[in-house]
Amino acid sequence: MTTIPTSQGSTTPQDASEQINLAQAVEQVLREVHQRAVQLGAEFILELGLTAAESSPGPLPAILGHLIENSLDAVARSPRPTNDTVPHQIIVTIEQQGDRQTLSVTDTGDGLDPRLLDAQGNLIFGRSIKPGATALGLRLVRDAIGRAGGTFHISPYPHGGVHAHATLPIVALSAAREAA
């Protein structure tokens, strides 16, 4: 595993026509949400499997962006007690398993709204009762993953928070370059 820094020194290509790999695309997504995370006192933990890092990003950066924004919203609705020195965490894991990429985003925010689950534990979208939450972001994520031939699951994380897990087919960087 490697950690991708969200510092000013970036290796992300500046030329929009240049093909970027998954690691560069993830770094770009994290830079876009970094300031909001700092304002909320949340820390990112990123685990990026080295075999997945060189693949083409495909739809994964957009999905990652939506899931991180949902996690930041949950953190914003769940302030830490003043005597709690442990920051909220958003844990992002991206790995390759055979011909699939797996993406997990776990947060220590305010948890999964029970009204989003039916009696069988399946996710119902658009029924959250939390202020400012519509679960529309989750519907967009689910639909994008489905269009890409993947699967999406979401579940409560112990002691509050949410764990979202997506599996997507791998798009090889060389194949993406040939198609471009």
pLDDT in tens, 22-42: 888 888 898 898 888 888 888
Query: In this predicted structure, what is the pLDDT of residue 165?
Result: 93
> pLDDT grade, residue 130 (50/70/90)?
low
Alpha helices (H) in 41-167, listed in sequence order: 50-53, 60-76, 136-147
Task: Yes or no: say if 109 and 162 are a contact pair by the CB < 8 Å rule.
Answer: yes
Residues 50-76 have a mean pLDDT of 83
Query: In this predicted structure, what is the pLDDT of residue 6?
Result: 36
Task: Give the residue from 119, 120, 90, 121 showing the smallest Cα distance to 103.
Answer: 90
119 has a pLDDT exceeding 80 = no
CA angle centred on 67, ends 63 and 71, rounded to 5°: 165
Query: In this predicted structure, what is the pLDDT of residue 74?
Result: 87
102 has a pLDDT exceeding 60 = yes
> pLDDT grade, residue 132 (50/70/90)?
low
Mean pLDDT value across the chain: 76
159 has a pLDDT exceeding 90 = no
Query: In this predicted structure, what is the pLDDT of residue 59?
Result: 85
